[in-house]
Amino acid sequence: MPGDSVYINNKAKDQNTYDAIVIGSGISGGWAAKELCEKGLKTLMLERGKNVVHLKDYPTATKNPWDFQHRGKMPAQVTNENPIVSRCYAFGEATAHFFVKDNDHPYVQEKPFDWIRGYQVGGKSLLWARQTQRWSPYEFEAPARDGFAVDWPIRYADMAPWYSHVETFAGISGNRDGVPNLPDGEFLPPWELNCVEKHIQQKIKENYSDRQVIIGRCAHLTKPREIHLQQGRGQCQARSLCERGCPFGGYFSSNSSTLPWAQKTGNLELRPDSVVHSVLYDSKKNKAIGVRVIDAITKEEREFYARIIFVNAACLNTNLILLNSISSRFPAGIGNDHGLLGRFVAFHNYRGSITASYDGFHDGYYYGRRPTEAFIPAFRNVFKQQTDFLRGYLAYFGASRIGWQEGTESEGIGGHWKDSLTEPGNWWISMGMQGETIPKYNNHVRLSQDKKDAWGIPQLVTSVEYDENDEKMKNDFLTQGAEMLDKAGCKNIVTQDTRQAPGLDIHEMGGVRMGKDPKTSLLNEWNQLHACKNVFVTDGACMTSVGNQNPSLTFMAITARAANHAVDELKKQNL
pLDDT digits (tens, 9 = 90+) for 366-399: 888 999 999 999 999 999 999 999 999 999 999 9
What is the tens place of the pLDDT at every residue in 6-36? Answer: 455 556 577 799 999 999 999 999 999 999 9
Pairing mode, if any, of strands 172-173 and 393-402? unpaired
Give the predicted TM-score (pTM) of the model: 0.95
Per-residue confidence band for 417, with pLDDT thresholds at 50, 70 and 90: confident
Among 170-179, 204-213, 396-405, which stretch is predicted with the lowest mean pLDDT? 396-405
For residue 203, give the H/E element and its range: helix 195-207
- Check whether 353 has a pLDDT greater than 60: yes
What is the tens place of the pLDDT at every residue in 436-456? Answer: 999 999 999 999 999 999 999
- Check whether 521 has a pLDDT greater than 70: yes
Q: What is the mean pLDDT of residues 181-199?
A: 98
Q: Is 406 left (phi over 0), alpha (psi -120 to 50) or beta?
A: left
Contact 262, 33 (CB under 8 A): yes
Q: What is the mean pLDDT of residues 80-99?
A: 97
- Beta pairing partners, 426: 402
Task: Tell me 540's DSSP state.
Answer: G
pLDDT of residue 246: 97
Q: What is the mean pLDDT of residues 66-71?
A: 93
Contact 82, 105 (CB under 8 A): no
For residue 138, give the H/E element and its range: helix 137-146
Pairing mode, if any, of strands 426-436 and 348-349? antiparallel
Residues ≥6 apart with Cβ < 8 Å to 320: 313, 445, 447, 457, 458, 460
- Check whether 148 has a pLDDT greater than 80: yes
Alpha-carbon distance values, 254 to 30, 257, 296 (Å): 5, 5, 21
pLDDT of residue 91: 97
- Beta pairing partners, 107: none
pLDDT of residue 409: 53
pLDDT of residue 10: 59
Q: What is the mean pLDDT of residues 187-213?
A: 98
Query: What are the sequence ranges of the domains in the chain?
Result: 67-100
Among 410-419, 436-445, 476-485, which stretch is predicted with the lowest mean pLDDT? 410-419
pLDDT of residue 6: 44
End-to-end CA distance of the chain: 24
Distance CA 172, CA 186 (A): 7
Q: What is the mean pLDDT of residues 552-561?
A: 98
Percent of the chain with pLDDT strictly greater than 90: 92
Alpha-carbon distance values, 503 to 109, 116, 347, 553 (Å): 11, 7, 7, 19
**Phi and psi angles of residue 201, each rounded to the nearest 5 degrees, phi first:** -55, -45
Based on DSSP, count helices (H) and strands (E) in the chain, helices before strands.
Answer: 12, 22
